[in-house]
């Protein structure tokens, strides 16, 4: 889409939580095929919040950054004081500035509630390695109710 001859921004935020990493999801979104998919869907920015996995995530990106499609910016960070204010709001549509983006998140309730508050499209990816695989039940419920799309990190 064009507005006044300039392309509108479209953001994808991937968040795994602040305290426990989610290696499977982080690895998937730091690969060229995922970047190509985002580019094909008109995304202009990918922000990856990877918590304690920041060191190896930056190294993985460094190994693949030559394959980042032109016009797609990528930012990797560990945590932010206010994810909703600092990052999620970038996924909201703003007439003449931004198209509606998407949040791809672990199935943590805090992140889910923040995305809902902002009316964002949400893809939940349960971290099946956590205590009793509790995130899968949450993700399945959200998908069944139509509140989010459930996916896996495979």
In a domain, 70, yes or no: no
In a domain, 46, yes or no: no
Q: What is the pLDDT of residue 4?
A: 46
Residue 113 lies in a domain: yes
- How far apart are the C-alpha atoms of 98 and 44, rounded to whole Å? 10
Number of domains, the chain = 1
Output 153 or 53, whichever has higher pLDDT: 53
List Cβ neighbours of 76 (8 Å cut-off, separation of 6 or more).
30, 47, 48, 50, 54, 57, 58, 61
Query: CATH number for the domain including 92?
Result: 3.40.50
Per DSSP, 52 falls in state G
pLDDT of residue 19: 86
Confidence of residue 44 (pLDDT cuts 50, 70, 90): very high
Instruction: List the domain range (segments joined by +) for residue 79.
Output: 2-34+75-150
Residue 85 lies in a domain: yes
Q: Is residue 143 part of a domain?
A: yes
Q: Say whether pLDDT at 3 is over 60.
A: no
| 40 is a domain residue | no
Residue 141 in any domain: the answer is yes
In the predicted model, what is the mean pLDDT of residues 107-119?
Answer: 92
Average pLDDT of the residues of the chain? 92
């Amino acid at each position: 889409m064009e507005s006044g001859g300039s392309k509108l921004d479209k953001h994808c935020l991937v968040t795994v939580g602040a305290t426990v990493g989610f290696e499977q999801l982080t690895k998937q979104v730091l690969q060229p095929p995922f970047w190509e998919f985002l580019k094909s869907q008109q995304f202009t920015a990918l922000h990856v919040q990877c918590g304690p996995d920041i060191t190896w995530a930056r190294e993985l990106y460094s190994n693949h950054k030559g394959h980042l499609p032109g016009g797609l910016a990528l930012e990797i960070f560990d945590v932010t004081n206010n994810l909703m204010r600092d990052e999620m709001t970038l996924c909201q549509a703003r007439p003449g500035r931004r198209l509606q983006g998407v949040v791809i998140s672990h199935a943590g309730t805090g992140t889910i509630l923040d995305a809902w508050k902002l009316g964002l499209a949400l893809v939940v990816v349960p971290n099946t390695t956590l205590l009793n695989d509790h995130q899968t039940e949450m993700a399945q419920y959200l998908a069944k109710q139509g509140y989010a799309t459930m996916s896996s990190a495979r």
